[in-house]
A and B are shown apart, each in its own frame.
Chain A
Amino acid sequence: MASNAPHFDFTEVEFADNPEPRCPVVLLLDNSGSMRGEPMRELNLGLRAFRDDLLADPLAAKRCELAVISFGPVRTVSDFVSAADFESLTLLPEGDTPMGSAIERGLDMLRVRKDMYRRNGIAYYRPWVFLVTDGAPTDKWQDAARAVHDGEQARAFAFFAVGVEKADMKVLKQISVREPVKLRGLQFRQMFQWLSSSLRGVSRSTPGTIVPLSPPTGWTDV
């Protein structure tokens, strides 16, 4: 660090204060230039409603932890915080679509977070990575795809991909082991509603519970 000021990281203090098991979620959100206008606005509104949904559920608010990475360019908009501390944020449309490096950044952050949980004796649920894009990767994405496949194989996380409007569904299929879904119109709010209710299910599941995911209907196109 450039400054000599002591650096305090209170992240781990929070684990002592809130020893609930955690369900980490990484949102990888496309803010490339093509999202300009209506799509970006709807995505931001959906994100806000998502936070409110989680906050309305006391256990989910303590247990779900959100990290947000936007890509176009790759930027960590918010490192992991519990839903209760998640500040509302507004993404602005910018440049291209470096999806590959965004995925790699997300998976790196997950690894670091899991280490932190283990170090602090915090139990955790299988993490979710949720990718939303309206385009095709403008960078090398093959390494990221391999990392996603390896991680799913090792049950290190569950990876979901959502394509918006003219998204390249063929590439998404090669990246995601789970069948990517196509967003119907700009129904980001419905998509986030599904995500929050699924997470509420996961975050209150107890040992031995296989959490049935409700099918992503109502906001997807076939």
Chain B
Amino acid sequence: MTTWRAVGASVAGASHRVRGVPCQDAFSLHVDDEGLVIVVCDGAGSAVHADVASRLVCDAFSVEGRRQARCPSGPDVEALLAASRRAIEDAARERNAPIREFACTLLGAIVTATWSLFVQIGDGAIVAANTEDFAPIFWPSHGEYANETHFLTDAEPHHVQCLVTSDRPTRLAMFTDGLERVALRIADRAAHQPFFGALFTSLAAEHTSEAAFSHALHAWLASDRLSTRTDDDLTLVLAATNVPTRREAADGS
């Protein structure tokens, strides 16, 4: 059985804090004997109910994801997306509001003993590593312009990026687009290794408690150092297995 150490934090961006707008990012993090389910959503700034939508989608995807994690045969992406969409369609109907007011992106990952699933609609990224370097599973999908992306509410089938594999990452990071320019090397479409290296080294340290790490992560996301680089909402979720990496094994400690 593989156990995971997993932490996450979301903070409202500087511009949202100033205007009193709630954080429109949400995440859900679940670890049990069947595996790991992580969802990260970024509600569209233009959508009135973006904060509600990202929360609902995280919850719905997570519930369906945990159900599927018990199926050794593999995941059903369509069912995951349908459950996620249903959650916002119901909310839209209840509030008598158009579905576009619930626009949000979706990053989902399920890692079980026999299979892993990654799915992405829109921007932000899922970065994974096993014994190799950190690499984004998909590249954030933007329109031509920086303030355009795709959303669960309006995604055409070709906007859904999906990967099902028997490979299991031992380290997994998922984050919304506010961190893209800090965590990714945009020009060569790669992950910024030192960024993830440093984070996972701290996370894996024996004395690290998940609660203390989450707290520190939250404080860092809200720090001035980051808000001079972006004023968007920021979410970062990290998960690492307790399986020793090769290097630690070689150290014999």
* A interface with B by C-beta (< 8 Å): 15-16, 19-21, 58-59, 120-126, 155, 202, 204-211
Contact = CB atoms under 8 A, between A and B. Distances in A.
A219 B233 CA distance: 35
A126 B146 CA distance: 8
Interface of B: 13, 15, 42-47, 50, 103, 105, 122-123, 142, 144-149, 151, 177-178, 181, 186-189, 228-229, 231-233
A125 B45 CA distance: 15
Q: State the majority secondary structure of interface residues on A.
A: loop
Nearest to A127: B145
Given A206-B232, A207-B177, A125 B146 contact: yes
B181 A209 contact: no
Q: State the majority secondary structure of interface residues on B.
A: loop
Contacts of B188: 121
Contact of B186 (A58, A122, A204, A211): A122
Nearest to B141: A207
A16 B122 CA distance: 25
Nearest to B228: A58
A217 B177 CA distance: 34
Contacts of B232: 206
Contacts of A122: 186
A111 to B, nearest CB: 13
Given A204-B15, A205-B45, 20 more contacts: A15-B187, A16-B187, A19-B187, A121-B188, A122-B186, A123-B142, A123-B145, A123-B146, A123-B186, A126-B145, A202-B147, A204-B231, A206-B232, A207-B42, A207-B122, A207-B148, A207-B177, A208-B43, A208-B50, A210-B46
Nearest to B47: A208
8 contacts: A19-B187, A20-B181, A123-B145, A124-B146, A202-B147, A206-B178, A207-B123, A207-B177
Given A204-B15, A208-B103, A121 B187 contact: yes
Nearest to B231: A204
B146 A208 contact: no
Which residue of B13, B44, B178 has the most chain A CB atoms within 10 A of its CB atom? Answer: B44
Contacts of B44: 207-209
B42 A19 contact: no
A208 B46 contact: yes
Contacts of B145: 123-126
